[in-house]
Structure 1
């Protein structure tokens, strides 16, 4: 005896359609969840990248400050400060006698905190606003610019962020100041003393993430060679169609170029003033001879004399 189902065939079709609708809704819900998760991940990555670049650029500027404001008992720090203030240093270059014509130059170098030294002119490039670049003591193969292919050029051990620094002394027409504003008190202005004033400097620290872009090393290097400000004022040498040397001028700054290549970057700009702090040392009480009052130990060391005042 045959048994027949009591459910009509039309109702079985309705049940099948309802199941398919539920499957479609579940699939759509899953796709939306994946899409939202991907968006959240991208937002988190972008925020982390901004924080990383900002902190790295800020640490670079702090390192420059620490080079000048050193502990005099640290022999290595004293050497680094003397280099920075020497004629081939990132600050001393602008303080040489007769160096007024170098205002607006930019000393460019790659920040390498894992190296034994912070700055050396033979690993830097001086960008000249009057056209091209000039070297002071001869540059290494890096030419002062960060290279993606050089592991030592990365600012951290994870090798994901680089920082390029540019130091310049703006020309007087770029800084509004009062007469004698940058002359320290109790100092006489002399042409033979380049430190008789407190010069102003501008520091650009640009941190970027080369691994988060499709741009190659050559493209990034082209951007790093561009000036940090007033692009149209900086020129570079090139040949015309007849082979003659001509000067052309940039149409983009460094950060504008990196942005056009899709390279994440942050630039911190700081104006700093190099102050010459005057300190006094009491060597001997006024009106008392050396027989009754010994000269202080600090003055003995400073003047290279004995406690009684006799030359050593």
Structure 2
């Protein structure tokens, strides 16, 4: 005869129930943590995009306010001014590059603060005016503030004149017209949050230094934003085309 102890049987059943409850609580806790992490990531991404967009917007606000000042605009159109360099015929296809540094009083004071990048066939050229104008993640002064969070790089280039006819009167001929040509520039502002990326500093610096912001018709190149996207670097790029007004004589 086998004697069964009901007390031992009940103790075993309680242990199984407790273990099942612990497993369920662990699963629920894991799901809750994962949900919180995903929500945090979504919130962080949303905040990052807003910050990057506002930072890019600030570039255009600054430039538009600067060009509203006749003296400042005139200085940009003469000498080593950023617009004077960009609109010279020999610099067609070249981009003037500025890193917007928080400690610099006027980041657009002249082309001497900039670098130049352009495509020569399928070869990138970026050392014609040195490389100090490009932003570098490893250079703390290149960030907008002491928090070393946001970095913004601005490029300026002459716009294509393929649509010069849009400024002409009906019946005017582009070839025989004696009117002065309309000068236009394209300004691109690219802001990034390098600390939110797993990419190395050298890879991010390579994106900012070895590519143009536009796709060249001949080289069919990768752009700065293409490179940043492939390296999972949070960025915001905005591009504006401006028609140059005539410099008023003093």
Query: Structure 2-normalised TM-score?
Result: 0.81
Does 1 or 2 have the higher relative contact order (CA < 8 Å, sep 6+)?
2
For 1:35 and 1:133, locate their aligned partners in 2 and report how far apart those are by CA, in whole Å. 45
Cα RMSD (Å): 2.8
Report the alpha carbon displacement of residue 253 of structure 1 after superposing the two structures with TM.
0.7
What do the CA deviations read for 1:31-82 (whole angstroms, capped 9, x no partner)?
1111111111111111111111111011011111111012x6xxxxx4x434
The answer to whether 1:170 aligns with 2:124 is no
Match runs of 1:65-84 below 5 Å: 65-70=64-69, 78=71, 80-84=72-76
The answer to whether 1:217 aligns with 2:209 is no
Contact 2:74 2:247 in 1 (8 A): no
Match 2:117 to one of 112, 116, 127: 127
Contact 2:86 2:156 in 1 (8 A): no
The answer to whether 1:149 aligns with 2:130 is no
Q: Name the counterpart of 1:306.
A: none
- Three-state SS of the structure 2 residue aligned to 1:159 is coil
Match 2:237 to one of 267, 284, 305: 267
Alignment: residue pair count: 234
For 2:205 and 2:140, locate their aligned partners in 1 and report how far apart those are by CA, in whole Å. 15
- Three-state SS of the structure 2 residue aligned to 1:91 is helix
For 1:17 and 1:134, locate their aligned partners in 2 and report how far apart those are by CA, in whole Å. 72
What do the CA deviations read for 1:170-213 (whole angstroms, capped 9, x no partner)?
2312x3633547xxxxxxx68xxxxx654211111000111112
Structure 1, unpaired ranges of 5+: 1-5, 73-77, 182-188, 191-195, 234-248, 280-301, 303-312
Cα 1:172–1:232 change in 2 (3 A) is closer
Cα 1:133–1:151 change in 2 (3 A) is closer
- Three-state SS of the structure 2 residue aligned to 1:108 is strand
- Three-state SS of the structure 1 residue aligned to 2:54 is helix
For 1:156 and 1:69, locate their aligned partners in 2 and report how far apart those are by CA, in whole Å. 26
The answer to whether 1:46 aligns with 2:64 is no
Q: Name the counterpart of 2:213.
A: 228
For 2:167 and 2:75, locate their aligned partners in 1 and report how far apart those are by CA, in whole Å. 30
Contact 1:167 1:204 in 2 (8 A): yes
For 1:134 and 1:91, locate their aligned partners in 2 and report how far apart those are by CA, in whole Å. 20
- Three-state SS of the structure 2 residue aligned to 1:172 is coil
Query: Structure 1-normalised TM-score?
Result: 0.66
Q: Give structure 1 regions of 4+ aligned residues with deviation exceeding 3 angstroms.
A: 6-9, 80-83, 128-131
Contact 2:159 2:241 in 1 (8 A): no
Cα 1:86–1:29 change in 2 (3 A) is same
